[in-house]
Structure 1
Amino acid sequence: MAGDRADRGKTISTVLGRRLGGELLALRESRGLRQASSAEALTASVAKVAKMERGLVPMRDPDVRALCHLYEVQDPVVVNRLLALARADRDRRKAKGWWNQYPQMQAMVEYVALEDIATNIRTWQLAVIPGLLQTPDYARALAVGAGSWDDPDEIEPFVEARLARQERLRGERPLQLWAVLWEGALRQLVGGRSVMREQLGHLSNMARQPNVKLQILPCLAGAHPGMTSAFSIVSFDEQGALDVVFAESTSSTVWLESETDAVHHAQVFDRIARQALAQTNTVSLIDAIRKEF
């Protein structure tokens, strides 16, 4: 009975699983193959292939490699990324991965798992500095201000997890981050003047990093296409990779996974970026606001 419950627990659709399944589906269709051909290559049933492509079951590395061979995917970078995606999905289902040691991140766990293997993120933020660019004191002040913690001792692990995410901006193959922020997010007094001075100084320094592009949309820009919501687009550079759009509200998180949604949000992001200040002018505005604090 316990084994049956465990098996049922694995047969769920996850964002990571759907991302992997969707990419393999696109590769199969690009070769004009039917699910029966994939099933034969895996010595599996057509029903199992259908579940794989819908992200309902975890995929083993040998299965991913066999399908890549069938679909004539020879680029090792693409194969390795698909393997990493499969591994991240298995870890997510088994509650592994560094992010799972922080229960405080439960609502963000699938986003962070994708962020961990992404190559590029574009984010538009209306009210807050993006988590990847927050200082510890700013993150702590946000957590305190949210007022949603039953136990104040949970706040420090939340801050630790936020800082752990920022490791993706470092290393040999750092995440490429393009962040566009509304000016109001820089002027919102989070944690007091000293906290904001430190946060804005950190923003100014990060804007000078080669893998970080930072733009500010000034209040004087007037009406713009991003006034109603903030969102992030998680991307993978390799050919055939599909973008994922993530949006968060006070009560829920929304994943938009279709190509149509991805294209729409990319176009909205580009329009916002065109109205925002250039990088040099952005740094000048950040430094000016910092002096005001």
Structure 2
Amino acid sequence: MQYGPAVRRRRLGAELRALRARAGLTSGQAARLVGWHQSKVSRIETGRSGVKPADVRLLLDAYDVREPELHELLVVLASSDDDGRHHWWHAYRGLLPPAYRDFISLESQASTMRTLENSVVPGLLQTPEYAREVTRAVVDGAPAGKVDALVEVRLARQDVLRSNPPLRLNAVLDEAVLRRSVGGPEVMAGQLRHLREAAQRPHVRIQVLPFGTGAHIGLAGPFVIFSFPNTSDLDVVVLDHLTSSLYLERKEDLQAYSEAFNSLQIHALSPEDTLDFIAGVADGA
């Protein structure tokens, strides 16, 4: 049984390994203290196996970890997939690669998502028609059934914007996102209308970077920053590539991308001006 997305298991394993070393214990000694086999400790520390919150507490007691905040952080890491309960995306396990399932899991747990997009509308803001055209392009030649299922996943992810409390979404879009014709005029008209409607929700903030802004730090590529309730120590930056995703959790990486996003927001149009700008694009301006 896996108890969290891979990025969380690796982070938790590394933290527990460091605490065991701080306590001056080998993995075999730690296992004997808690009544486990040494291989279980090794699997947890390498992120190959999940661990229940109760087992994390057992290890922390064995390692004489007394810092309350550290206790809370590691238990939250172990609980990051709701103790192994199955979620809607598990029905698509045969279709979705592990990195995508990890992304959806993080998205479902996050309180805030900051995203820069240079090419396409963010998945959480796509209409069904737009999502279908993007999916067809990305999985060129895939059978219709696979395309249908991937679009279902894309649309199901949008439930985080309707949950209670909803995910807070801050999106900065390059003007190219609005100008690129995906699916033809009718699909784009519906997508631009949907963006304007979404932008008026209190928990959704959309800003456009017009071409007139010139070169900006976001030209290095799109990224997503997930933030979580209660502690910033769980924040994650996600960089998407064609065949994989890279997860960054080091504080210096998080700070660099947070500063980059803040800079992009400063240079982008205000949310109010963005609404007018999207309307202008829709009208052919």
Q: 1:195 matched to which residue of 2? A: 187
Cα pair distance change 1:54/1:209, threshold 3 Å: farther
Conserved? CA contact 1:242–1:259, under 8 Å: no
Shift of 1:44: 4.9
Shift of 1:240: 5.3
Written as runs of structure 1 = structure 2, the 5 A alignment for 1:67-146 is: 71=66, 73=68, 81-87=76-82, 90=84, 96-102=86-92, 103-106=94-97, 107-146=99-138
Separation of aligned partners in 2, 1:104 and 1:245: 24
Name the aligned partner's letter for residue 266 of structure 2: R
Aligned pairs, number = 275
Task: State the alpha-carbon separation in 2 of the partners of residues 140 and 45 from structure 1.
Answer: 49
**What RMSD in Å do the two structures reach over aligned CA positions?**
3.3
CA gap of 1:48–1:221, structure 2 versus 1, over 3 A, is same
Q: Distance in 1 between matches of 2:124 and 2:189?
A: 17
1:156-201 deviation digits (Å, cap 9, x = unpaired):
1111111110101112121111111101101111111111111111
Structure 1 regions of 5+ residues with no counterpart?
1-6
- Mapped to 1, the partners of 2:73 and 2:282 lie a distance apart of 43
1: distance between equivalents of 2:203 and 2:75? Answer: 22
Tell me: CA distance 1:149–1:105, structure 2 relative to 1, closer, same or farther (3 Å). farther
Query: One-letter code of the match for 2:80?
Result: L
Identify if the C-alpha distance between structure 1 residues 67 and 209 changes in structure 2 by more than 3 Å, giving closer, same or farther.
farther
Q: Is the 2:9–2:78 contact (alpha carbons within 8 Å) kept by the matching residues of 1? A: no
Matched, 1:205 2:197: yes
Question: Which amino acid is 1:197 matched to?
Answer: A
Say if 1:35 and 1:46, in contact at 8 Å, map to a contact too.
no
Query: What's the offset of the Cα at 1:288?
Result: 1.4
**Selected match of 1:159 from 140, 151, 160:** 151
Q: How far apart, in 2, do the equivalents of 1:234 and 1:174 lie?
A: 14
1:211–1:85 Cα change, 3 Å: same
Q: Please show how residues 214-229 of structure 1 align to structure 2 within 5 Å.
A: 214-229=206-221
Q: TM-score, normalised by structure 1?
A: 0.80
| Structure 2 gaps, min length 5 | none
Counterpart amino acid of residue 189 in structure 1 = S
After the TM superposition, which segments of 4 or more aligned residues of structure 1 sit over 6 Å from their partners?
A: 23-26, 74-80
Separation in 2 of the partners of 1:23 and 1:217?
Answer: 39
Correspondence for 1:148: 140
Contact persistence 1:60–1:86 (CA under 8 A): no
Structure 2 CA distance for aligned equivalents of residues 141 and 48 of structure 1: 45
Q: Which amino acid aligns with 2:147?
A: I
Q: 1:273 to 1:233 in 2, by over 3 A?
A: same
Do 2:51 and 2:78's aligned partners in 1 also have CA atoms closer than 8 Å? no
| C-alpha distance in structure 2 between counterparts of 1:154 and 1:166, whole Å | 19
> Shift of residue 122 of structure 1?
0.9
Deviation at 1:208, TM superposition (A): 1.3
Partners of 1:244 and 1:211 in 2: CA distance: 20
Distance in 2 between residues matched to 1:281 and 1:156, nearest whole Å:
35
**Quick one: distance in 2 between partners of 1:222 and 1:178?**
21
Which string of whole-angstrom CA distances, capped at 9 and with x for unpartnered residues, describes residues 246-281 of structure 1?
111223322223222222211211111211111111
Q: Is the 8 A contact 2:113 2:224 kept in 1?
A: yes
Secondary structure at the counterpart of residue 178 of structure 1: strand
In 2, the alpha carbon distance for the partners of 1:255 and 1:152 equals 31
Aligned residue number for residue 18 of structure 1: 10
| 1:96-133 Cα deviation digits (max 9, x unpaired) | 43213224432511111111111111111100100011
Match of 1:270 among 262, 265, 271: 262
Task: Give the letter aligned to residue 105 of structure 1.
Answer: L
Q: CA deviation at 1:219?
A: 0.7
Distance in 2, matches of 1:279 and 1:25, equals 45
2:184 aligned with 1:184: no
Residue 241 of structure 1 and its aligned partner are, at CA, apart by 2.5
